[in-house]
Amino acid sequence: MRSVVIDEAVVSRVLGTALQTGGDFAEVFVEDKRSSSGRLDDGKIEELGSGRDRGAGIRVVVGETTGFAHTADLSEPGLLAAAEAAAAAARGGGGGVRTVALAGQPVDSQPVLTRPEEVAKATKVELLQRANEVARSKGDAIKQVSASYGDSRRRILVANSDGLLASDDQTRTLFVVGVVASGDTGMQTGRRSIGHTMGFELFDRYQVEDLAQEAAEQALTKLQARPAPSGALPVVIGKGGGGVLFHEACGHGLEADHIQKKVSVFADRVGQLVASPLVTIVDDGTMGQEWGTFAIDDEGTPAQRNVLIEDGVLTDYMWDQLRARKEGRRLSGNGRRQSYKHLPMVRMTNTILTNGDTDPDDIVADTPDGVYVAHLGGGQVNTATGDFVFGMTEAYLIEGGRITEPLREGNLIGNGPKVLELIDAVGNDFEMGPPGTCGKDGQGVPVGDGVPTLRVSSLTVGGTAA
């Protein structure tokens, strides 16, 4: 309760009001988020910003109907008004006053060594300037550099009519460098980002100079890039940044909301072989201080490590409160929301492909011709058909088992279940990728992903070269 200043007795009364029209389940979610950011662009510190968002979202479930209301007014009258609005939205048959006895849950929030709000703004500004200087020092072809810093501290409290009361204190820190380089063939871009669920100690672990140098090198390399090939080819995906492949190829399709509405190609397939036996996929909200890590999800459930696919066999889906209640099964810690203004739904946390036992160099050497993707951009999937795309932001041609020329950007397209079967090599060099934001139904949440080097024997590469 220390995390968000709101009285337990008030929360209990609010839940009682939320249930007054006969709800089956009621929940109060309180959030107090403070953020600060800095942006350097075009050589100037353009802006330091700070923000505060504070409020509560209240939902009431009656049968299959969810009523939801949110308010920025955290006074008892404000909360009660929102509870009444949510209850009115989900009218049930019964009624009468119910009281909810709350039992506080112990929660160990992710540790923070240096609170970002206690770090001088000048120190944050200096990080941006250092990144700018290093990126610009990489040559005259570097035409533009942007760098941005952001931190947020999000304190949440969740209480529900099952008596749950839990809170978490989540601090995330992020740094991004973007570079534009110009050459004979036009402009190219490079980008690097780091982000963790931790405080300002992020910059003890990573040097912004390294990030700036890598972003600059990426842009410069791409100036020499030739058009990507067009058509089906073997594709090797490098360690780290390739996790978005699984996020799109199967992650979304394993979210229980899609499963229950039968808009997933993975519905009714638990226990079946859905991937190459080399594939074990885990969604893990407990990984130490990763971008998609937290102590409790936005429904108060402790984060968990959930094995989704084991040695190619589909073992389970991901669940939130609503979908788990419907099927009378345990919660998996995947109920998340962007803010108190949003209803929670089934979301991924950190989605990873676990290590195989092949030497990554052998995977490339065993690929006579194909494409090597060092860094992926975002992606998108249609869960009902399984068709998905993901972008390659840094890719190379593989010729005769060797990585050769850089390629221009483009999307790769595949079908989730088909691609999972076509994974024919998994390396032993697992690494987490850069921080991501997963968008679903208009809500963005921080997610992580990671993979070792792997190969898909055939994927359609969307370039323009013959």
Partner 1 sequence: MSEELLSIGDRIIAMARPGEEVEVVVGRSSSTEVRVYEGEVEQLASATSAGIGVRVISDHRQGFAYAGSLDEDVLAETLADARDNATFATPDEWLGLAEPDGVAVPELDLYRESLLKASTESKIDLAVELERVLKAQDPRITGVDSADYTDGVSEGAVVSTAGVRASSSETSCYVSVSCVAQDGDDTQTGFGFSVGRTPEDLDISVAAGAASRRATRLLGATQPESGRVTVVLDPYVTAQLLGIIGSTLSGEAVLKGRSLFADRLGEEVAAAGFTLVDDATNPLAYTSSETDGEGLASRRNVLIDGGRLNQFVHNAYTARRAGTVSTANAVRGFSSTPSVGCRALSLVPGTALQPELLAAVGDGVLISSVSGLHSGVNPVSGDFSTGAEGLRITGGELGQPLREFTIASSLQRMLAEVAAVGADVEWLPMRAAGVSLVVHGITVSGK
Task: Return the residues of window 11-50 that contact partner 1 according to CB under 8 A.
Answer: 38, 41-50
Query: CB of residue 139 vs partner 1: minimum separation in angstroms?
Result: 15
Q: Which stretch binds partner 1 (CB under 8 A): 2-10, 53-61, 205-213, 330-338?
A: 53-61
Find residue 27's DSSP bridge partners: 59, 160
| 232 forms part of the interface with partner 1 (CB under 8 A) | yes
Residue 460 in the binding site for partner 1 (CB under 8 A): yes
**Pairing mode, strands 423-426 and 402-407:** unpaired
CA 227 to chain centre: 30
- Is residue 374 involved in binding partner 1 (CB under 8 A)? no
Token pair for 416: 């989730």
Q: Which of 6, 18, 158, 228 binds partner 1 (CB under 8 A)?
A: 228
Helices and strands in the chain: count of H runs, count of E runs: 10, 23
Q: Helix, strand, or coil here: 373? A: strand
Size of the site for partner 1 (CB under 8 A): 78
Element holding 413 (H helix, E strand): strand 410-415
Min separation Cβ 431 and partner 1, Å: 20
- Of 272 and 380, the one with the shorter C-beta distance to partner 1 is 380
221 interacts with partner 1 by CB under 8 A: no
Q: Does 64 bind partner 1 (CB under 8 A)?
A: yes
Residue 208 three-state SS: helix
Distances (CA, A) of 229 to 222, 233, 398, 424: 15, 9, 11, 21
How open is the CA angle 140-142-143, to the nearest 5 degrees? 100
Q: CA 102, CA 398: separation in Å to the nearest integer?
A: 60
Report if residue 343 touches partner 1, rule: CB under 8 A.
yes
Q: Which of 5, 8, 65, 139 binds partner 1 (CB under 8 A)?
A: 65
CA dihedral 239, 350, 64, 66 (to 10 degrees): -120
Q: Does 250 bind partner 1 (CB under 8 A)?
A: no
Task: Please report whether residue 432 would count as binding partner 1 according to CB under 8 A.
Answer: no
CB of 38 or CB of 333, closer to partner 1: 38
Binding track over 140-159 against partner 1, x by CB under 8 A: ---xx---------------
Q: Does 462 bind partner 1 (CB under 8 A)?
A: yes
Q: Is 415 in the site for partner 1 (CB under 8 A)?
A: yes
Q: Which of 118, 109, 103, 207 is nearest to 163 (CA)?
A: 103
The yes or no reply on residue 380 touching partner 1 (CB under 8 A) is yes
294: amino acid identity, one letter: F
Please state the closest distance from residue 119 (CB atom) to partner 1, in A.
Answer: 12
